[in-house]
């Protein structure tokens, strides 16, 4: 039975993208390390890169490459590597069913991501998920996570109170953003950050597969 939206705990469900819906963590790590090699910079470890996934590129580069002055050069190089890497990046198993089922059940769906607008629009089109999301916010639209501006903008767009919306993400940056917006959150432990780290932000729940998200909405 499909519940009326008024009977649901939440009206608006907001998803992070990388590491939450799409299995991009490995690609991000590889591209970032190739950038460091090309520019003859100290190569960050996989864990160092995982720690910053979810933030915008302008916020990431000073953290990973603190000794390099031209962070825009690193950003441009990263984007070039990311575009050149033509290997298809899959959605996590169960994501397409989850999103289509939530849409059919009457939830308002949105994305809040550290990706740039061009990158987000591209993956929304390539995956076919764009048809299900009613609005998206990215690093080009608002301040980087964990600042709550992206979430505040989405709440205003949908005219939904913070206690009727929930943020779903794989990093402490996603969950901190939700806390900063006065919003509940669900952590997913199959992405950038593990369950131990996610628990420190007191999410509503932590799940280890996408289809389990529906159980907490």
Q: Which residues are catalytic?
A: 16, 18
3-state helix, strand, coil in the chain (%, to 5): 50, 15, 40
User: Is the Cα torsion angle 130, 132, 13, 134 positive or negative in sign?
Assistant: positive
User: Is the Cα torsion angle 100, 85, 47, 142 positive or negative in sign?
Assistant: negative
Cβ–Cβ under 8 Å, residues 87 and 27: yes
């Amino acid at each position: 039975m499909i519940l009326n939206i008024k009977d649901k705990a939440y009206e608006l469900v907001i998803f992070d993208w990388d590491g939450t819906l799409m299995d991009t963590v490995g690609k991000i790590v590889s591209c970032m390390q190739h950038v460091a090699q090309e520019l003859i910079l100290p190569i960050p470890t996989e864990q160092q890169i995982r720690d910053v996934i979810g933030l915008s590129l302008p916020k990431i580069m000073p953290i990973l490459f603190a000794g390099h002055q031209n962070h825009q050069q690193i950003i441009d190089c990263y984007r070039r590597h990311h575009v050149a890497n033509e290997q298809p990046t899959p959605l996590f198993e169960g994501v397409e069913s989850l999103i289509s089922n939530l849409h059919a059940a009457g939830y308002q769906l949105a994305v809040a991501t550290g990706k740039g607008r061009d990158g987000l629009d591209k993956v929304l089109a390539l995956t076919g998920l764009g048809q299900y999301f009613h609005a998206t916010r990215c690093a080009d639209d608002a301040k980087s996570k964990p600042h709550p501006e992206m979430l505040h903008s989405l709440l205003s767009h949908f005219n939904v109170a913070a206690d009727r919306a929930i943020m779903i993400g794989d990093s402490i940056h996603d969950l901190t953003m939700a806390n900063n917006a006065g919003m509940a959150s669900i952590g997913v432990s199959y992405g950038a950050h593990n369950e131990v780290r996610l628990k420190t932000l007191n999410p509503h729940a932590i799940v280890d597969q996408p289809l389990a998200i529906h159980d907490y909405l």
